[in-house]
Amino acid sequence: MSINIRTRGQVRGGVAEIKSLIRHPMESGARMDQSTGKPFPMKLITNVDVNVNGNRVVDAQWSANISTNPYMHVNVAANAGDEVTINLVDNTGETGTETFTLR
């Protein structure tokens, strides 16, 4: 199963504003399941990278401090017509990729 990403991007004056809503549980492994008394298994996004026309412009490492279904907002240098790719990897090896063209 892949990580679901919904993304929008808009360019103004050579700067692209990229907004992404990521569907992911971001479970830290510290919460307890009330029915079993055992902790929920850790499942969190660890690596995020944003590429514009194949060039990495954002390389982030996330931790357990990020909320469930995180919202990401970044501004990067780009122009209308540029291709943006967002890649995510979680600690279980699950991945998510979203590619779109800026307007």
Question: What are the pLDDT tens digits along the chain (103 aa)?
Answer: 699 999 999 999 999 999 999 999 999 999 999 999 999 999 999 999 999 999 999 999 999 999 999 999 999 999 999 999 999 999 999 999 999 999 9
Domain range summary for the chain, segments of one domain joined by +: 4-101
pTM for the whole thing?
0.92
Is the distance from CB of 56 to CB of 78 less than 8 angstroms? no
pLDDT for 92: 96
What does the longest C-alpha to C-alpha distance in the chain come to? Answer: 54
The pLDDT assigned to 55 comes to 98
**Candidate CATH numbers 2.102.10.10, 3.40.1710.10, 3.30.70.20, 2.60.40.10; the one for domain 4-101:** 2.60.40.10
pLDDT at res. 52: 98
